Amino acid sequence: MVALPPDMAVRYRLDPDAQARAAIDATFDDYASMMDMLDAIAASKNIGANLVALHGHAYEPIRKATRLPSRLVTLGLRDRAAYRASHIKRLPLDDRLVNVRNAATLSLGTALGRFTIRFDVVGYAKGWGHATPAQLVCCEDGSFEVRFGVTANATRGKEHVMLAEHAPAPDTILSRAGRLIAGIAYGAIEKAEDNNKVALVKQAIREIELAEKEARDSLSQARAEEYRLNARRAEIEREMSVLTEQIRTAIAEHRDDLASAGIARQMDLEAQFEVLSKAIDENAERIDATLTTLRAILSSLQDAQARLAELERSEAEQHPAQSSTRGRSTSSGFAKAARASRAIARATGVPAPVAPSPDIDELSKLHRDKEIASRLARLKSQT
């Protein structure tokens, strides 16, 4: 049996549906736009090969001008020279952008979101040095492949690097919030005995409030981590800027030894910066997920409070003497909670729950109709 060369790639030929194909095409288009932006920014700022300076000038403009995932932008900053030199149309991937879910499908992050796509393993191709663990390749016949870098006699271990885990997911704030929301939204209350409905809703409210507190605590931790990571990134950027000037001075004074030492330090800082950038991207995703969870929790809390008010009004009509005092205390409690939420929102930037309004349904419908029209126009433009 002939041994494989030491630098190979396993070819996963993709079989995307029309929507996934459009998303992959959009990703390649946005990635090419990003490379043009990087060339323009590097030239205008006279950055050269300084990755940290390029990141500082280009990252945010690229995120605003394209739809690329944050991780692909970070990988693309390092990929600029290799992308221009490549003879094939490809872009870099890592385990945050692609995961093999099972023997027939993988999950791929694109400019238009994440898609589950079927694939066939079609053999091997020449590798690329494994600067990134995988690549998304557009073949000459218009098909797409994900190529995972492997090494001879270690194929089995390498192929499992990016396999998705199938173990049961841990119980997170998001999963618990989902169960709480489902309990309010899908009529679990109606299944209770008549004399238990008020108590059931009150218990649901207590559980939702506990989930809200956990979500706020998680958001606070993520915000603190964001501050520390950004502070360290700013330190690296300042040191890189100073080093650049020092290296130029050493070259002007013909001190190649000092210039080499400065370049070595630059390379060390760039390696730190790469790890730091990945941590920042992951933390940003955590913040977005926590904010989404918190909004959902606050919405479910609003629904639960409205349900409780309806049940107590119903009981008040049947037993006015017993319910009048409880109704007043409940209304007062809701008002205090609303004031506290608004105060927290002002201090932290965390969204506060919106008070129920007859116009909310119409507003939601208007927003939904606009989103449908926008997506329809986008799909028409892609055909």
What are 107-136's pLDDT values in tens digits? Answer: 999 999 999 999 999 988 888 876 788 999
Based on the domain organization, do 337 and 224 belong to the same domain? yes
Based on the domain organization, do 226 and 78 belong to the same domain? no
Based on the domain organization, do 186 and 328 belong to the same domain? yes
Query: What span, in angstroms and rounded, lies between the C-alpha atoms of 300 and 78?
Result: 43
Which has the closest alpha carbon to 188: 174, 169, 203? 203
On whether residue 167 sits in a domain, the answer given is no
| Residues in the chain with pLDDT values less than 70 | 1-6, 49, 130, 152-197, 319-368, 371-372, 375-376, 378-380, 382-383
Query: pLDDT at position 364, please?
Result: 60
pTM: 0.54
Which has the closest alpha carbon to 62: 79, 46, 48, 84? 79
Domain count, the chain: 2
Based on the domain organization, do 188 and 321 belong to the same domain? yes
On whether residue 166 sits in a domain, the answer given is no
Based on the domain organization, do 198 and 327 belong to the same domain? yes
Query: pLDDT at position 179, please?
Result: 59
Question: What DSSP letter does each residue of 212-267 carry, written as one string?
Answer: HHHHHHHHHHHHHHHHHHHHHHHHHHHHHHHHHHHHHHHHHTT-HHHHHHHHHHHH
Based on the domain organization, do 228 and 339 belong to the same domain? yes
Query: What span, in angstroms and rounded, lies between the C-alpha atoms of 70 and 76?
Result: 10
Based on the domain organization, do 198 and 259 belong to the same domain? yes
Which has the closest alpha carbon to 3: 127, 157, 160, 155? 155
Query: pLDDT at position 168, please?
Result: 45
On whether residue 2 sits in a domain, the answer given is no
Residue 193: HSE in the Cβ half-sphere, 13 Å Cα cutoff = 2
Q: Which domain holds residue 293?
A: 173-353
On whether residue 259 sits in a domain, the answer given is yes
Based on the domain organization, do 188 and 154 belong to the same domain? no
Which sign, positive or negative, has the C-alpha torsion 119, 25, 97, 150?
Answer: positive
What are 225's two structure tokens?
A: 């981590």
Query: pLDDT at position 341, please?
Result: 54
Based on the domain organization, do 222 and 297 belong to the same domain? yes
Which has the closest alpha carbon to 201: 113, 310, 53? 310
On whether residue 222 sits in a domain, the answer given is yes
CA dihedral of 265, 271, 272, 274, whole degrees rounded to 10: 140
Q: What are the strands of the beta sheet with 144-150, ordered from one edge? A: 89-93, 134-138, 144-150, 8-15, 113-126, 105-110, 98-100
Query: What span, in angstroms and rounded, lies between the C-alpha atoms of 191 and 164?
Result: 38
On whether residue 51 sits in a domain, the answer given is yes
Based on the domain organization, do 23 and 89 belong to the same domain? yes
Query: pLDDT at position 184, please?
Result: 52
On whether residue 375 sits in a domain, the answer given is no
Query: pLDDT at position 4, please?
Result: 47
Are the C-beta atoms of 11 and 147 separated by less than 8 Å? yes
Based on the domain organization, do 50 and 191 belong to the same domain? no
Query: pLDDT at position 153, please?
Result: 56
Angle at 183 between CA 323 and CA 325, to 5 degrees: 10
